[in-house]
Amino acid sequence: MHSWITIAPDSEFPIQNLPFGIFQVGLKDPRVGVAIGDYVLDLYALSQFGYFEDVDIADHTVLFRDNLNDFIALGKPVWRQTRERVSQLLRHDNTEFRDNEEAVRECLVKRAEVEMLMPVKVPNYTDFYSSIEHATNVGKMFRDPANALLPNWKHLPVGYHGRASSICVSGYDVIRPNGQTKAADADMPTFGPTKELDFELEVAFIAGRETELGTPVSTTDAEDYIFGMVLFNDWSARDMQRWEYVPLGPFLAKNFASTISPWVVTLDALEPFRVKGPDQDPQVLPYLQYTGNKNIDINLEVLLQPEGQQPVSICRSNYKHMYWNMNQQLAHQTSNGCNLQIGDMYASGTISGPEETSFGSMLELTWKGTKPLTLPDGTERKFINDGDTVIMRGYAEKDGIRIGFGECVAKVLPAL
Amino acid sequence: MHSWITIAPDSEFPIQNLPFGIFQVGLKDPRVGVAIGDYVLDLYALSQFGYFEDVDIADHTVLFRDNLNDFIALGKPVWRQTRERVSQLLRHDNTEFRDNEEAVRECLVKRAEVEMLMPVKVPNYTDFYSSIEHATNVGKMFRDPANALLPNWKHLPVGYHGRASSICVSGYDVIRPNGQTKAADADMPTFGPTKELDFELEVAFIAGRETELGTPVSTTDAEDYIFGMVLFNDWSARDMQRWEYVPLGPFLAKNFASTISPWVVTLDALEPFRVKGPDQDPQVLPYLQYTGNKNIDINLEVLLQPEGQQPVSICRSNYKHMYWNMNQQLAHQTSNGCNLQIGDMYASGTISGPEETSFGSMLELTWKGTKPLTLPDGTERKFINDGDTVIMRGYAEKDGIRIGFGECVAKVLPAL
């Protein structure tokens, strides 16, 4: 299947992808769009031309919002219908939209010309810790190399609550946070800009359906509660984290900013890239058991771009390495009756692979700063400098079809 | 000052209080109300009778909502104006409302007849850990009695993010959560109803003003960002917490439910009850230093009511014991640039006092279950049983004036 719109072979947005996002162009109000090749398809405009008459959207103004939440609330059958209708309209052999010059002019906007906004309003944000390579690396560095994983790690997908208010869309600069730190050899803490600003390469899924308090969701049903996925940079200040995190977990070391990619890729688009997950040994408790291929083969990459220079690749990892999958994360999150809300974000935790070049944070790549990275300009990095831009990319690929997320980019500004 | 409405001398809602809430009566839509004696004053109806003409509320429908957020967004001068206007209308010597029979009939509703709803939509929820007695008790029980406080505790108000979605208003039953636990002598964890369900006696403040990312709020300015306060029961499953909380903090042990009192008491109403806080030694960093009396003398009580029996008091504590005050908590929360949103909830952490009868959780009252409480019916409690109702009360009192919060009540239902 291909589209009548010309799409580069290596585009992340072929007709097989069709991710949802919120965009703004010129003085027009924000609205729902779908990415296709180098364009954004304006779904609200498309609805005004009557192309969604057979889609179960009673009130088309849900497409005329600054977030996807109201559209998502219509339910999975409607997301699917909408995406399938868009696919039909864009197929090479379909003329109903293609030959309507006015509609094409009004509904197709160059991606280069739009500003992407936060795709959802996020009521709750959880960050998991589900990569065994990452958890092992951290355990080796800070605890006992011989017993790197804590006793609970293989029995449940460890997670904690993060801050929803500071999740920003790609392109929003990150200000280096000030905070309290204490040097190992100091008597007293000090306050000032973090010296150990780090990224964490993650992928997050977005809840698409709410539940009542007291209602667990099984691993089998979990996918009915997931709208789609984004790349997620869980910015972290390691020196602040070390000092503050006992006994209640990370707080100010994380909540100054997180960055997500703007396009929400649906599980339907990612279905062809399903792979088997790792064997879980010891066997997990029944509420965490699952059947089928629940991991997804998504290539992930992190690039670092010093001010005024070209981006350089510093990490290549893959989402397929996850020890705990999304279905297990959602089943665990709701196993105590915790209620889901539409737009909730559930991030994977840092996704490190087995090789040293696949570690998903500077902490691991430079092994706590002991092995700095040397960049093409000769400068070294233990952590992230002011003026550096961190770029995350992700795509699944098979049979010449690439399903991408768009970039998750943020530049670091000096502390205030 | 007193009101023309007859108010019992020990009422928690004299004319000096006037807390805000959201109520519903009969088939009418939810709206903003103010508690006065045994009544709720319907602010929307009052506005329809023209009594708010001199208050800067351009659109009175902000009083006709199922949460206070839009009203709060109008800003502190408007909350103050509104409360002062209500105070004026209710004064013993003011006749303009009192003598309007139709208005009185429409605007004053018996409190016994209304259902109270969640007062705010909560975008973000932080739980601090600011009682030195509580932190010391926990440290003694689970770590080293000689070094009960962790090294960071006296340098910063330790806190973590909680789950906003499961915060419920008083009266909403709590279902005993299922979860993963591991007995100390077991090889493997098991899944089932918590055996150690606990309450935590807390007080929370609600953010009344948003900030941009990157904007710290000083201890001096903090009160301009606080709308008011509520009682807060941070329900906890101790056995789940013990197993899950390393290294990233509490998660499913907390996020199944929290209960708040329905009336938001303003800082203006609590102003006469300001007291000096504890000396902080060692001296805290400059961004956490403050001047003036920032603690508040609020009597707190927890009652346990077994099914079909009378409530029995099991804890009397006081908010004045807090080592870290609200101003410091808010300054810390924003010191890294983390942004505030209107309706955010910031809970104190368990408020224990110095005496054993002032400990704010069953964990501490029964010292990890080693000293069970004996109730009047002869039964014992190490933790909370199914059918038990936990009631929290709080009020400040001076010169015969009592400023109360209304009850924070929830009954525990068996696990599903």
Which residues does A210 contact at the CB level (< 8 Å), separation at least 6? A73, A339, A340, A341, A342
- What phi, psi does B287 have (nearest 5°)? -70, -10
Cis peptide before B282 (omega within 30 of 0): yes
pLDDT recorded at residue B117:
98
What does each C-alpha distance from A164 to A159, A217, A323, A349, B390 come to in angstroms? Answer: 15, 22, 25, 15, 30
Residue B332 annotated as catalytic: no
Coil vs helix vs strand at A37? coil
Cβ-contact B174, B392 below 8 angstroms: no
Cite the beta strand spans of A152-265 per DSSP E: 159-161, 167-169, 174-175, 178-181, 190-193, 197-198, 201-207, 226-233, 236-237, 258-260
Answer yes or no: do B175 and A213 touch at CB < 8 A.
Answer: yes
Cite the beta strand spans of B19-135 per DSSP E: 20-24, 31-36, 39-42, 108-110, 115-117, 125-128
Q: How many CA atoms lie within 13 A of B201 on its CB side?
A: 37
Which residues does B381 contact at the CB level (< 8 Å), separation at least 6? B304, B362, B366, B372, B373, B375, B388
Cβ-contact A260, A170 below 8 angstroms: yes
Burial of A42 from C-beta contacts in 10 A (0-12 / 13-18 / 19+): buried
Q: Which are the catalytic amino acids of A? A: 134
What does each C-alpha distance from B6 to B32, B33, B96 come to in angstroms? Answer: 22, 18, 17
Answer yes or no: do A247 and B150 touch at CB < 8 A.
Answer: yes
Cβ-contact A24, A114 below 8 angstroms: yes
pLDDT recorded at residue A193:
98
A136 CB neighbours in chain B (<8 A) are none
CA distance A89 to A39: 14
pLDDT recorded at residue B277:
95
A-chain residue closest to B138, CA distance: A247
Adjacent-strand bridge partners of B32:
B22
| Count of C-beta atoms within a 10 Å radius of residue B120 | 28
A164 CB neighbours in chain B (<8 A) are 123-124, 164
Domains of chain A: 20-117 (2.30.30.230), 125-413 (3.90.850.10)
pLDDT cut 70: percent of chain A above it: 100
- What phi, psi does A313 have (nearest 5°)? -70, 130
Answer yes or no: do B166 and A213 touch at CB < 8 A.
Answer: yes
B186 CB neighbours in chain A (<8 A) are none
Evaluated on CA atoms B213, B219, B223, B226, the torsion sign reads: positive
Any alpha helices (H) in A111-216, and if so which ranges? Answer: 132-142
Q: ipTM of the predicted structure?
A: 0.97
Answer yes or no: do A337 and B256 touch at CB < 8 A.
Answer: yes
Chain position carrying tokens 């297990």: A328
Adjacent-strand bridge partners of B20:
B34, B264
CA distance A291 to B406: 49
The two three-digit tokens of residue A167, written as one number:
């999740």
Measure CB to CB from residue A189 to each of B155, B166, B190 and give the nearest one: B155
pLDDT recorded at residue B152:
98
A-chain residue closest to B181, CA distance: A152
Chain position carrying tokens 């768009």: A406
Q: Could you report the per-residue pLDDT of A72-114, keeping only the tens digit for each?
A: 999 999 999 999 999 999 999 999 999 999 999 999 999 999 9
Q: Which of B118, B143, B336 to mutate to test the interface with A (most CBs of A within 10 A)?
A: B336
Cβ-contact B400, B393 below 8 angstroms: no
Q: Which of A295, A305, A265 minimizes the C-alpha distance to A394?
A: A265
The pLDDT mean for chain B works out to 97
Measure CB to CB from residue B178 to each of A179, A246, A335 and give the nearest one: A335
The pLDDT-based confidence of A262 (bands split at 50, 70, 90) is very high
B285 CB neighbours in chain A (<8 A) are 180, 189-191
Cis peptide before A247 (omega within 30 of 0): yes
> Cα Rg for chain A, rounded, in angstroms?
22
pLDDT recorded at residue B412:
98
Measure CB to CB from residue A175 to each of B152, B214, B282 and give the nearest one: B214
Q: In which residue ranges of chain B is pLDDT below 70?
A: none
Cα A214 from chain centroid (whole Å):
28
Which of the 8 DSSP states describes residue A265?
A: B
Give 3-state DSSP helix, strand, coil % of chain A, rounded to 5.
20, 25, 50
pLDDT cut 70: percent of chain B above it: 100
Measure CB to CB from residue B150 to each of A163, A240, A246 and give the nearest one: A246
Q: Could you report the per-residue pLDDT of A12-46, keeping only the tens digit for each?
A: 999 999 999 999 999 999 999 999 999 999 999 99
Q: Could you report the per-residue pLDDT of A351-378, keeping only the tens digit for each?
A: 999 999 999 999 999 999 999 999 999 9
CA distance B25 to B110: 10
pLDDT cut 90: percent of chain A above it: 99
Residue A241 marked as a ligand binder? yes
Amino acid letter, residue A175: I
